[in-house]
A and B are shown apart, each in its own frame.
Chain A
Amino acid sequence: MKINCIEIISKISDTRAKVKKNQLHQVNKNVEEVFLVDVYTIKKDLSQNQLKEIASSLTNPVYQDLKINQPILVNKFSWCIETGFLPGVTDNVGSTVKEIIKDQLKIKFTKDEGVFTSQLLLIDGKLDEKDIIRISQGLINPLIQRVHFKTQKQYLKDKGMDRIIPQVKLSSADQVNTVNLNVSDEQLMAISSRGTLALDLTYMKTIKNYFKKLGRNPTDIELESIAQTWSEHCHHTIFADPIDEIKDGLFKHYIKRATVEIRKKKSQDFCFSVFTDNSGGIKFDKDYIISHKVETHNSPSALDPFGGAITGIVGVNRDAIGFDMGAKPIVNYYGFCFADPNLKSPLFRDQEKKLPLLSQRRILDGVVAGVNSGGNCSGIPTPQGFVYFDNHYQGKPLVFVGTVGLIPTKSSSVKKARSGDYIVMVGGRVGQDGIHGATFSSEALSSGSPAGAVQIGDPITQKKLSDAIVKEARDQKLYNSITDNGAGGISCSVAEMAKESNGCLVNLEKVPLKYPGLEPWKIWISESQERMTLAVPKNKWKKFSELMKSRDVEATIIGEFNNSGRCVVSFHKKNIMDIDMKFLHDGLPVRPMKTTPVKSTFKEPVISQQKNLDEVLLAMIGRLNISSFEFISKQYDHEVQGNSVIKPLQGKGRVNGETSVVKPVFDSSHAVAISQGLYPSYSEIDCYQMAGASVDTAVRNLVATGVDIDKIFLLDNFCWCSSNDPQRLYQLKKAAQACYDFAKIYETPFISGKDSMFNDFKGYDEKGNSIKISVPPTLLISSIGIISDVLKTISIDVKFPGDLIYVLGETKEELGGSEYFAMNNSVGNIIPKVDAQKNKKLYQNFYKASQKQLISSAISITRGGLGVALAKTSLAGKLGMEVSLNKLPGKVIRNDFTLFSESQGRILITINPKNKKMFEKIMKENIIKEIGQVTENQQLIIKGLDNKVIVDLNLEKIEKAYKSVFKNY
């Protein structure tokens, strides 16, 4: 079969090439010029005219030139580097071009034919082979991409690069193996680890006994299926199993119980559905329900930052689409925990140092770009997020992704797959990508980590699916149930949905594949993206399939739900899996856990006191964890859908706020506010107070924006490490207990949560010494609140000269784990203690004041303390301030500690002097202090405890410090 090649180059100054050149110039100063060529390799017999027609439809004559089956030449270059995808990696552009050709020429492609894209860099400059090898490696991720290079001479001699067709060739075919479990414990464990099953001995033995009773051995697909369903990722055993005296487990005892008790106690219950569905649901107004879900995609992002992040965000989108009968995603949300991007200490997955981890900078760039592509392509606004830096994340970054959904109350109904309903898979096809994601994320990252766990996203395929479901099929009531295909693929989604009817029969050969030759067990557990599973009644199938066809969405019947009480999988009429539903879902043995209390003490830092704190404040504002991340906010579309109200960058000074507000229904005055709190730097001191601070911050950030504390809801994401270590488990228990205690007082129920328990890296350092790096115990508390009158929301920027400045709440010298101590390379021990009872009264009165529109600006005091809050609110409003710390409520002795203490429960606000009386009357039972005034000039002047000036800074300086850190990102 002929392999055709179409090459396209820009004939005018090419932005993409320029940007590439600048990147390469960072690597090697001898790079003089870079030309960029897009290559479409078409494996199909085509006539010259057909090729011409295809080429012209891919080329824009206004600025591009093309060559057909001959290499593009530029007048001066010394090397050519080609990058392309490895076999099996989703090539989105390739498939679009295939669509274009089919539509244009009215022709079809056989299984063996296809379109594949690659990119040429024609590079000019004095570069030897070593340089080119180094440059090449910087261009690709070897897990998913190939790179080849030639000298100019060779390139001319060969008439271009070699034509490589990255087609998957699988010989493995259809075979199903049985696995002999009648073996020793050692061998059982060997079986588990060989297959990345992540099943420990107690689990393996339970499975062994189950099949003994059946008088047979399991097939590979049965074993794999159980491994998926029982995986930490899917079953959350660490949160479910007994721990110490807590027999019902952490989740039931602390998280769920808090919600149940709060819902009972509250006069008005705004929760709609909690913990059961793909997302948590709350009532928005009389006509709509809002869903929220926050996921993590840590392990995939460590291997392939772009792919991991984009599949993370489009994956959690499906938790909205799969909520209830299908919610429309209206907000994307992100949170990234990285090591310092400038960190220079390479890590390796193997002792031979052949498998280096990607540099922190590449992980950051890739993750940021992944969420960009996923969110922007899907037309979902991404207003809210955070970045947090700590070098303990070097081995494994944390990538939090969340999605808020919206569904009309009238479209909502109880999911129930009925016996006789078709099992229908919609969306993308199944390939090797994302095998063992679920089980692998239940283990530490090591050299054994399967590259198969990498997935590439295809947002447009999902966008078509999403529109067809939530904008059409849902309200035509064409299905009885819907769920996401995430971890474990259809093995989990089908088995999960089969609970509703109590049984299923799957005809695995019907599942559409990306390429032939996949073993059945791989088809069953593959985590190929952009797929959902639905239960479609037989009498609605015709209408459903026609709708999907007309929307260019692939929908396939892969089996039938029944009430047999069994999960049966057949492959070409032969049963290859037949497991009792009860055993599959509840057969796993309980593993009681014991914890060991841990109390670490760190030495208190010795920090010399300075009279003038200008430089110290500037240094704080320039910290990675405090400075502006506008480069992210700006590249994430937060205006699409027209719902943005309080935007990610606030005020004339464009300062990153902690809270975003969206108004998803044009005809309703209601709005949704989202924020978060997390303090990993407190964890090693005291996980109980860490969790308390996280809850308080997550709640307070919303309160400061004008949200009624009665309409605030929480989500928990525990990203822990070494969760088989009794001391880590103790910290986990303490954190969970705090979640209960503080949520109970604030009466802010948890509606959804997710955990990821083994964020450890086991590998080798530069010298080849084995090394283990664990993330600090990280708890992300995400908060979501409902606002009834959008016009009452408050932004962080100070608005008018003469306005009065107040600090609400008390300031104590609580700097343990603070950003200020971190700047002084120490941890300390005294971390903020949250007085929730007192805070709650403050938050309630604050809300009263905000409803009377007495508050002109408000910023929640968080990381970096009062000093940072003053700088941010002043910079945001581009107005100066003059304040004094004299007689500041609380317990403080040192000026620097006063400025940078991270005491919780505090809000910094400004008000119109006219409102002073009324405001103070409303707040009379709370501890508040007027500390100064907004000024006309551009100076931030702070007087210390003794009323002497300690800070006198021009806003320009502050802005420079705040915005220079990521200036070139």
Chain B
Amino acid sequence: MKKPKVLILSGYGLNCEDETKYAFELAGGQGQIIHINDLIKNKRLLNNFQIMAIPGGFAYGDDTGSGNAYGLKLRNHLWENILKFVEKDHLVIGICNGFQILVNLGLLPVLDKKYGERQVALLPNDSNRYTTGWFDLKIINDTPWLSGITEISLPIAHGEGKFFASKQILKQINKKNLVAIKYINNPTGTLENIAGITDESKRIFGLMPHPERAMFFTQLPDWPYLKEKYLRDGKKLPKFGPGLQIFKNGVNYFK
């Protein structure tokens, strides 16, 4: 079976493309980082891929709101191609800044098939400050991205991760079961502990936490303790971390 091809976008301050590409390749995919301007120059490149990933970062320095400026650039130049891409049985993931971009682009949650309409927002954290740390999360819906996972611990690092939607919108989101993943303890004041959502197809997935920063054992915050425990129990040390499964799920969707 051929390796699924993963497009990882870059440019204008996105900054997690390298580790995101590595995670997808570790999971058995074939990753390619493409600068947004190169994609605009050659739009048909998009047809080569089954998965599109918008990685974390600080596109345009969050000016005019995180994800807004990069989202506008995608809409102004690639909207039609992106729509064609998501119509097919393809996967999309937006991590952190990527999630913020998908939301501004109107690719999440796309209630009532209203592609391109901004229906939810990611607002400044209650502290109004950038926050980094590891948090436990539980999986809510059945997006292929999270299949086989019930609980997971991942790091967050963002200043604008507070999910917001009007009562009506939130009601629909819950009714249609589009909430994908929630924090167990709320780190930012995000609505109903929401950490990530999907569209109705469940194939488009956005989340604030960074699974690509949890693909190895030594990335875990408590690995030195775990190592000592494994040693004393005479067990072999694990190599990988929990985040890797999410990328495997993405890749395996096409196997």
Contact = CB atoms under 8 A, between A and B. Distances in A.
Nearest to B37: A550
A380 B93 CA distance: 23
Contacts of B73: 103
B38 interface: yes
Interface in B90-119: 104, 118-119
Nearest to B26: A666
A62 B65 CA distance: 12
Contacts of B13: 377, 379, 459-460, 463-464
B235 to A, nearest CB: 14
A18 B123 CA distance: 13
Interface in A442-492: 458-460, 463-464, 467
Contacts of A463: 13, 15, 58
Interface string B118-140: 11110111111111110000000
Nearest to B128: A19
B197 to A, nearest CB: 14
Interface string B122-160: 011111111111000000000000000000000101010
B50 interface: no
A62 B164 contact: yes
A795 B224 contact: yes
Contacts, number: 170
Contacts of B63: 92-93, 96-97
Contacts of A645: 218-219, 223
Contacts of A18: 128
Interface in A599-657: 633-642, 644-647, 650-652
B212 interface: yes
The winner among B121, B155, B157, B224 for most chain A CB atoms within 10 A is: B224
Contacts of A639: 132, 155, 157, 210, 213, 219
A62 B132 contact: no
Interface stretch (A53-61, A512-520, A528-536, A587-595): A53-61
A104 B71 CA distance: 12
A378 interface: yes
Contact of A460 (B12, B133, B224, B228): B12
A103 B72 contact: yes
Contact of B35 (A104, A378, A550, A650): A550
Nearest to B10: A467
A7 interface: no
A647 B221 CA distance: 7
A644 B37 contact: no
Contact of B118 (A58, A61, A794): A61
A723 to B, nearest CB: 38
A759 interface: no
A856 B227 CA distance: 10
A666 B21 CA distance: 12
Nearest to A15: B124
A551 interface: yes
Contacts of B68: 57-58, 60
Nearest to A914: B232
B44 to A, nearest CB: 17
Interface in A526-569: 550-552
B215 interface: yes
Contact of B125 (A12, A15, A103, A793): A15
The winner among B62, B69, B229, B231 for most chain A CB atoms within 10 A is: B69
A853 B230 CA distance: 12
Contacts of B215: 642
B232 A637 contact: no
Interface in A62-121: 62-63, 92-93, 96-97, 99-100, 103-104
Nearest to A379: B15
A16 B124 contact: yes
A99 B69 contact: yes
Given A640-B56, A795-B224, A799-B228, A60 B118 contact: yes
B218 to A, nearest CB: 5
Given A552-B12, A663-B218, A800 B61 contact: no
Contacts of B162: 15
Nearest to A380: B15
Contacts of A856: 228
Interface size class of A (residues with CB under 8 A): 35 or more
Nearest to A644: B219
B12 A379 contact: no
A62 B164 CA distance: 8
B60 interface: yes
A550 B41 contact: yes
Contacts of A663: 218
Contacts of B60: 96, 99, 460
Contact of B72 (A61, A100, A377, A637): A100
Contact of A62 (B165, B189, B221): B165
The winner among A97, A460, A639 for most chain B CB atoms within 10 A is: A639
B237 interface: yes
B178 to A, nearest CB: 16
Contacts of A794: 224
Given A666-B216, A791-B227, A637 B157 contact: yes
Interface string B40-78: 010000000000000011101111110011001100100
B152 to A, nearest CB: 15
A856 B232 CA distance: 11
A646 B213 contact: no
B49 to A, nearest CB: 20
A273 interface: no
A379 B57 contact: yes
B164 A63 contact: yes
A96 B10 contact: no
A790 interface: yes
Contacts of A844: none
A912 interface: yes
Contacts of B131: 634-635
B148 to A, nearest CB: 22
A686 interface: no
Contact of A58 (B64, B166, B237): B64
A93 B64 contact: yes
A372 interface: yes
Contacts of A12: 164
Interface string A363-397: 00000000010001111000000000000000000
The winner among A458, A637, A638, A912 for most chain B CB atoms within 10 A is: A637
Contacts of B237: 791
B132 A634 contact: yes
B130 A637 contact: yes
Contact of B22 (A458, A666, A790): A666
B61 A460 contact: yes
A433 interface: no
A696 interface: no
A797 interface: yes
A58 B165 CA distance: 19
A963 to B, nearest CB: 15
Interface string B188-217: 010000000000000000000010110110
Given A379-B58, A463-B15, A645-B219, A100 B37 contact: no
Contacts of A93: 61, 63-64
Contacts of B225: 651, 795, 797, 799
B132 A379 contact: no
Given A62-B120, A62-B121, A652-B222, 9 more contacts: A97-B64, A460-B60, A633-B132, A642-B212, A790-B218, A791-B237, A853-B231, A856-B228, A912-B228
19 contacts: A58-B68, A60-B121, A62-B118, A62-B165, A62-B166, A96-B69, A100-B64, A103-B73, A103-B76, A378-B15, A460-B58, A467-B10, A552-B12, A634-B132, A639-B132, A639-B157, A642-B212, A666-B216, A795-B225
Interface of A: 12, 15-16, 18-19, 57-58, 60-63, 92-93, 96-97, 99-100, 103-104, 372, 376-379, 458-460, 463-464, 467, 550-552, 633-642, 644-647, 650-652, 663, 666, 790-791, 793-795, 797, 799-800, 853, 856, 912
